Amino acid sequence: MRYFFTIAYKGSLYHGWQKQPNAVTIQQKVEEVFSTIFNQPIEVVASGRTDSGVHATQQVFHLDLPDNVEPRQLIFKANKMLPQDVALLDVKAVGNEVHARFDAISRSYQYKIIKRKDAFSADQAYYFTKELDLQKMNEAAASLFEFEDFESFSKVKTDVFTFNCEIFEAEWKQEGFTLVFYISANRFLRGMVRAIVGTLLEVGQHRINPEDFKRIIREKKRTLAGRSVPAHGLYLTDVKYPQEIYL
C-alpha cells in the first residue's frame, strides 16, 4: 500500500533534499533509515527538492509499504534513528497510483528576514538591517498575480518544459522583529522564491519601483532580476493535494 509521509527538517547541515554523490542530503538520511529497518534498499519520492540550506516544516514523500507494516509504528521507530534535525510528523494512506510530486496541487513557502541580530536564528532567518518600504514591496508582490511566465526568476540552467506558474498568494507580513514573505503556487521553478525575494528587497530599498518589477517579469531575463537571497531564510511550509487521494 502507498503512503504519504510528512517530514520536517532543518536544512542547515544538508545539501538539500535530493540525494547526490559526495554530499549529505535529507533524502539520503531518510532512505538509509528505512533501508536499515526493512533490511533492503528503499527509495522515497518527494513532492519536490529543496536546495542546500533550505528548511521544511512540511515536506511530503511517498513510500510503498507491505500490508503487514503498521505505518505509525514505523514513524516511531524511524524517528529514533533519524538525526535530531529531521522528524517524521504524519502518515496517510493514499491510492497506489498517487504520486507525491505530480499530484500536488499547490506548494507554499515562507522567507524569513530578521531586523535585529538574534543568536538563535543565525541559520534560520536572513539578518538584513537596511530600511525597507513594506508597502512598496507588497504592491510589487501583488503584481505577481498578473503573470504566468516567471523565467526572470528561474535559475538559468534548468531542465523544464515551461516557466509558467500560477501564484495564489504573495504577501509580506511584519511579525514582531521578523519580516515574513508568504508565497503559494501550483509549482515553483528552481531558485524562484529566493530570486523573487531578492528582487522585492530591491523594491523595498527604492532601488527599483513596482513598475520596474513588472518590467523585469515581462523581459524574461534572469540578469535583470535581483540577487538570490541566502537559502537559510527559506522554508517549505505546505504541500496540498486533492482530498480524494486519501483512503
Annotated binding site: 109
**Per annotation, catalytic residue among 51, 149, 212, 238:** 51
User: What's the CA gap between 186 and 54, in Å, rounded?
Assistant: 19
Q: What is the 3-state secondary structure (H, E, C) of the chain?
A: CEEEEEEEECHHHCCCCCCCCCCCCHHHHHHHHHHHHHCCCCCCEECCCCCCCCEEEEEEEEEECCCCCCHHHHHHHHHHHCCCCEEEEEEEEECCCCCCCCCCCEEEEEEEEECCCCCCCCCCCEECCCCCCHHHHHHHHHHHHHCCECHHHCCCCCCCCCCECCEEEEEEEEECCEEEEEEEECCCCCCHHHHHHHHHHHHHCCCCCHHHHHHHHHHCCHHHCCCCCCHHHEEEEEEECCHHHEC
The question of whether 133 is a catalytic residue gets the answer: no
User: What's the CA gap between 181 and 140, in Å, rounded?
Assistant: 12
Annotated binding site for substrate: 109
**Looking at the annotation, which residues are catalytic?**
51
